[in-house]
Structure 1
Amino acid sequence: MNIKEFFDLSAGKWFSHRTSHHLAFQQFEDGKSDIVVEILATDRPEVIKLCQRYEISPSSAACSAKVTWNEIMEGNQKKDSGSSVLVSIPDVDNPNEGKFLQEIGSTKETSIIGRYKIGSDGALTLTTEYENVSAEERLWFASPNLRMRVRVLKRSDGFSTASFTSEIRMGGIPSTKKVSETANSAAS
């Protein structure tokens, strides 16, 4: 699987359930979200703007997506919602690795640049460092309609959070036959 196939397979509406463990406080937290992943053409204005922010040619982008979410955490009746634009820029000599650009536009606009790697098992690993936080996230498909994520956030003050998320596609898999075949081979 390559980064474009991973993005294509991720397209659609998902129900997400996340459990987070705040290691310093030994506390757990549950959250539920509705997530929509929309594939964007790499010539869309928001993709071009994000690439230009990092002085990267938009023509070098392999794929991009917009992720929109509505989330509620256990014990908190207030919903959190937002969106994010994601752009992958493959390394010239190894397209299974590259830069990962992200713009988060929930309450305040934040841009992040990180790295991605698609493993031989089809799992996507994202690593980012921003301000005083480093994050590593691994995403994979257990089946075409079930995606898993594990994430570890570490702050420079020693505070760490680990989370596990399962995401279930609401509706069928994307209609593209190639994407379906890719998911089936990744799940085998």
Structure 2
Amino acid sequence: MEIVNFFETLAGKWFSQRTTHYLATQTSKAGQSNLMIEFLPHINAAVMKLCEELGQDSAQAACGLRINQDSRIDGETQSVQTAALMVALQPSDDQSGVLLQKTEGADQGSVGHYTLADEVMTIAIAAPGGQVEERLWFANPNVRMRTSVLQGPEGVKLTSFCSEIRLGVSRPPEE
């Protein structure tokens, strides 16, 4: 599977059930999110703009995703809405390449890397307080799994696991 095909499979409306474990305090929190993920072709203006903002050649863009998330942590009354743009550049080999990411309202984005092997995408990208490594894979076309680990200078700070269900109609069959 190529990165463009993988990003296409991520598009849609998803319900996410998440558990996050904080290693320093040995506590866990559960939460839910509604995700709306839009696939963006390499020629999309937002894709090209993010490439330029982060000093990357926009001609190398493979595709992008616009991700809108509405999240709530169990026990809290207020939900949090975020929007982000993610752009994958053409792979440097068959399986890996540069990944750009910017959260709406942030001063600057981040440059990381992705690897796509055996239909599992692994992302490594800088985050406040360290680096996040995230893995995404599909159990079937409408169920996906996602894990993440935040590692700081002192070691692993937190881990999370998400199970996500595509809402509505399944992804159309490939032609």
The TM-score by the shorter chain falls in which range?
over 0.9
1:139 equivalenced with 2:119 (yes/no): no
1:153 equivalenced with 2:150 (yes/no): yes
SS of structure 2 residue aligned to 1:75: coil
Q: Give 1:109 shift.
A: 4.3
Range with bigger deviation, 154-163 or 138-147:
154-163
SS of structure 2 residue aligned to 1:62: strand
Q: Which amino acid aligns with 2:157?
A: S
Residue by residue over 1:98-156, the C-alpha shift from the partner in whole angstroms, topping out at 9 and shown as x without a partner, is: 00000111x5344111000001x200000012453111111000000001001000223
User: 1:89, 1:162 → 2: CA distance?
Assistant: 27
2:48 counterpart residue number: 48
Residue by residue over 1:26-83, the C-alpha shift from the partner in whole angstroms, topping out at 9 and shown as x without a partner, is: 0000010000110112222221111001222212111111010100001111110011
Q: Give 1:90 shift.
A: 2.5
TM-score (norm 1): 0.87
**Contact 1:145–1:172 (8 Å) recurs in 2:** no
User: 2:123, 2:106 → 1: CA distance?
Assistant: 22
Instruction: List gaps (5 residues or longer) in structure 2.
Output: none
Q: Give 1:157 shift.
A: 4.8
2:109 to 78, 103, 111: 111
1:102 equivalenced with 2:96 (yes/no): no
2:83 counterpart residue number: 83
Q: Give 1:176 shift.
A: 4.1
1:177 counterpart residue number: 174
Question: Residues 109 and 77 (structure 1 numbering): CA distance in 2 closer, same or farther, change over 3 Å?
Answer: farther
SS of structure 2 residue aligned to 1:177: coil
TM-score (norm 2): 0.93
Larger strand proportion, structure 1 or 2?
Answer: 2
Q: Which amino acid aligns with 1:128?
A: I
Q: Percent identity?
A: 33
User: 2:156, 2:142 → 1: CA distance?
Assistant: 33
Range with bigger deviation, 153-162 or 122-131:
153-162
**Contact 1:90–1:96 (8 Å) recurs in 2:** no
Moved over 3 A (4+): 107-110
SS of structure 1 residue aligned to 2:162: strand
1:125 to 122, 127, 144: 122
User: 1:84, 1:146 → 2: CA distance?
Assistant: 22
User: 2:77, 2:26 → 1: CA distance?
Assistant: 23
Q: Which amino acid aligns with 2:91?
A: D
User: 2:40, 2:71 → 1: CA distance?
Assistant: 23
